Chain A
């Protein structure tokens, strides 16, 4: 430790965009290792833990922050503004967690439009009690001046679709051990991998480490939800007809879900050369279907109720087609026979 302390401390920032807070908590989850972190880094900005204002960040010189862990997707103008600001102020910008990496769970909002989301929240939801039909306004004049709220975008984007990103640390949330490894690599001044790489995860997919028994008998006669099968705790989920994103998902998480007998949901994102993990997995799973006619195949597919939500759970905004076409822009013409 003494040796390391001779090195100047690095300046570390942690920020959240459209996120659930889990990523910030995962940083706290370093537990007693936090002392190692604090010994090597000054936390200069972290809204969840420190009272440092945006103005303070704006006042920092460019490239002043050594590392920013940016978690969360880009949902509104505030997220976008902060992404740009932190990019300007940071040497190494890390997309931290699934949302910053691929859009994550908030990215599934791309299957709805802004109007649909607002209608649901401020009008239709079972728990909504909004008799005055109040809706958020971006600007509101009061006698003290103008009150503003960030603009809610139509589209959820990833951090890399908004600003240049140096590294990605995937996961929902990233495994804390992986964060520490990456952090220590940065502070120890080791040579860093080429820009744009995914850190804290392997190039191989989950199956490589998955303790379940796998074979080549991946034929699916019927798809099941995990609770519908008598899981023997040993056999590959896919071979039991349960959708598991493991084959299309990088390893590194320690297969946490599989450990508790839940199939992989894909939060660590795709293997290195895969452009669209959802498409790859759709292709792979569809190939396993035990049917050679449209009727049989459609019948078996009836149990795959939500392919977008399943295959693109964490990667919708980063996927090739990114989102749903708003209804007013869809083709309305009835189909000719």
Chain B
């Protein structure tokens, strides 16, 4: 066997790591470990000079394994693997120790943090000794794309791809395309009619020769992997159709928050307390009126209903402040004599033309009153016909700290944006992770906000986070560009960290067969052994820890690799007692 020569590189990450971890000491402690040929520390390992250092060392010192102790492998593992490949080494001969996110940034005792960093590096050194060269698999990308959701985001993505001459399958759950945006009256900040924006888009999608629409239709299962997905749709006439596609764009959109759970607003009990969406419909019908069909004299708008409140949703729904201003403008035009009260918690008017909309609205005799969610929400109560107005809203005005009562004949609740209830099912079907607040998680919050951790699956629009129409469309077009790029290249390379069966050991007990969630393992009756379909295997490793004989190896996560990692981590020198 070839002699193992490991290069170990400890990154300072500027001061991010070096401030809390004594990088010199880490190098001093691990450089004498068996098989370590080179050990260095450097300011920014991920920078070009940092990578060049590794490449140079691989060539000069004939390194065949590399360990980098730096940030999370979720950020730079690929960067360093590429550097290895550049130097002619198989990229899998690499292991990262996460000493930034899981050491420097979370600990406060420099000595202990350093000790822990040493143990993580020691573990990585132990592990990398057992790494094997693995080849990438090149697969062809099916040029069709599945878009789930026919709202403004889904339609934009579909059009972008279809216009590039590629097939799109657009699946919409409801009977109509257009989604939430189609239910709006005007849009902010320029008061374009939503219908005039969305209607031509729908027509364009429906008429497009490269877009095949399935509605009303639900996706139940998707098999396969990036480049080669497939799904079977149950058509209304009882037929089935099998679709094959290379990429998936998920655009399941939003649903409005149900304010009836906020008791102080009495939504559902007081008929003239309506949600922002109900008010949009009222505007679309062309008449602002109370439940009794009268023109309201006093209209109140309450912000942050279900948003920015730990009891409901901690996040800001982003669009409600501007929609509220749009409402104030529409009410002012329709009812010039009315009193308009805007009860806000914070006025968030970022974005092009939005602060201008605020300034402009504030000159239109709208009374802005601020409440503080921390000190309780406003209370809406009925006057039971004893006063001239039907309702009174009581709250503490934040600037004056005075208890005030606002009269109202109509109250509009600016309800939060929630991820659609179907998102949970889609997350399982498409393999997307969700945040605690049930929006989908992007691959990287800053560097890759369109992709997901499942290759070939993209998220666009409000299923990822609350956003307005232009942001949804931007994201949709970005995803379309990503998809078109993979279609253009035609092939993709994927890591082979799949399971493999040693036929000399496998006894044919078949325990692994039913354990696999992807039906990637089957029993070969003739040979009496299990077989892994590497195309279907996603490399979770569950079969490896189920196999009682050790016949199944989970590539790149083998028993031997993990056990050596444990031994390194727990080497007696790395204990806190030894400090």
The reply to whether A and B meet directly (CB within 8 Å) is yes
A residues contacting B by CB (< 8 A) are 203-208, 214-219, 238, 246-248, 251, 270-275, 277, 280-281, 283-284, 287-288
CB neighbours of B511 from chain A (8 A)? 216, 218, 238, 247, 284, 287-288
Select one of A208, A272, A281, A287 contacting B508, CB under 8 A. A208
CB neighbours of B504 from chain A (8 A)? 203-204
Q: Is the CB–CB distance between B548 and A205 below 8 Å?
A: yes
CB neighbours of A287 from chain B (8 A)? 511, 515, 542, 546
Q: Is the CB–CB distance between B505 and A247 below 8 Å?
A: no
Q: Does B547 contact A (CB under 8 A)?
A: yes
B residues contacting A by CB (< 8 A) are 504-511, 513-515, 523, 528, 542, 545-551, 559, 563
A217 to B505: give the CA distance in the assembly, Å: 21
Q: A218-B511, A274-B550 are known contacts. Are A283 and B506 too (CB-CB below 8 A)?
A: no
Smallest beta-carbon distance A102→chain B, Å: 16
Select one of A217, A270, A280 contacting B514, CB under 8 A. A217
CB neighbours of A205 from chain B (8 A)? 505, 507, 509, 548-549
A59 to B509: give the CA distance in the assembly, Å: 51
Smallest beta-carbon distance A73→chain B, Å: 24
Smallest beta-carbon distance B526→chain A, Å: 14
CB neighbours of B546 from chain A (8 A)? 283-284, 287
- Mostly, the B contact residues are loop
Q: Is the CB–CB distance between A207 and B508 below 8 Å?
A: yes
CB neighbours of A204 from chain B (8 A)? 504-507, 549
Q: Give 7 A-B contacts (CB < 8 Å), ordered by A residue.
A: A204-B505, A208-B528, A271-B549, A273-B559, A280-B547, A287-B511, A288-B511
- Kindly report which residue of chain B lies nearest to residue A248, judged by CB atoms: B548
CB neighbours of B528 from chain A (8 A)? 208
Q: Is the CB–CB distance between B548 and A218 below 8 Å?
A: no
CB neighbours of B563 from chain A (8 A)? 275
Q: Is the CB–CB distance between B548 and A247 below 8 Å?
A: yes
Q: Is the CB–CB distance between B508 and A271 below 8 Å?
A: no
Smallest beta-carbon distance B419→chain A, Å: 24
CB neighbours of A216 from chain B (8 A)? 510-511, 513-514, 523
Q: Is the CB–CB distance between B514 and A203 below 8 Å?
A: no
Q: A205-B548, A273-B550, A287-B546 are known contacts. Are A218 and B507 too (CB-CB below 8 A)?
A: no
- Kindly report which residue of chain A lies nearest to residue B528, judged by CB atoms: A208
A247 to B514: give the CA distance in the assembly, Å: 15
A215 to B530: give the CA distance in the assembly, Å: 11
A113 to B563: give the CA distance in the assembly, Å: 29
CB neighbours of A277 from chain B (8 A)? 548
- Kindly report which residue of chain A lies nearest to residue B553, judged by CB atoms: A273
Q: A203-B504, A216-B514, A287-B515 are known contacts. Are A281 and B509 too (CB-CB below 8 A)?
A: no
Select one of B508, B523, B548, B559 contacting A284, CB under 8 A. B548
A273 to B130: give the CA distance in the assembly, Å: 15
A274 to B387: give the CA distance in the assembly, Å: 83
CB neighbours of A203 from chain B (8 A)? 504-505
- Kindly report which residue of chain A lies nearest to residue B542, judged by CB atoms: A287
CB neighbours of A247 from chain B (8 A)? 507, 509, 511, 548-549
A207 to B511: give the CA distance in the assembly, Å: 11
Q: Is the CB–CB distance between A219 and B514 below 8 Å?
A: yes
Known: A274-B549, A287-B542. 4 other contacts (CB 8 A): A204-B505, A217-B514, A218-B511, A246-B507
Q: A218-B514, A271-B550, A287-B546 are known contacts. Are A206 and B523 too (CB-CB below 8 A)?
A: no
A78 to B547: give the CA distance in the assembly, Å: 40
CB neighbours of B510 from chain A (8 A)? 214-216, 218
A281 to B546: give the CA distance in the assembly, Å: 8
Interface centre among A217, A251, A272, A284 (most CB of B within 10 A): A284
A219 to B546: give the CA distance in the assembly, Å: 13
A218 to B547: give the CA distance in the assembly, Å: 13
Q: A216-B523, A271-B550 are known contacts. Are A251 and B545 too (CB-CB below 8 A)?
A: no
- Kindly report which residue of chain A lies nearest to residue B502, judged by CB atoms: A273
Smallest beta-carbon distance A266→chain B, Å: 10
CB neighbours of A207 from chain B (8 A)? 507-509
CB neighbours of B507 from chain A (8 A)? 204-208, 246-247, 251, 271
A238 to B548: give the CA distance in the assembly, Å: 13
Smallest beta-carbon distance A316→chain B, Å: 18
| A-B complex: 6 closest residue pairs judged by Cβ atoms | A216-B513, A205-B507, A248-B548, A247-B509, A207-B507, A247-B548
Q: Is the CB–CB distance between B550 and A280 below 8 Å?
A: yes
- Kindly report which residue of chain A lies nearest to residue B515, judged by CB atoms: A287
Smallest beta-carbon distance A151→chain B, Å: 29
- Kindly report which residue of chain A lies nearest to residue B522, judged by CB atoms: A216
A207 to B508: give the CA distance in the assembly, Å: 6
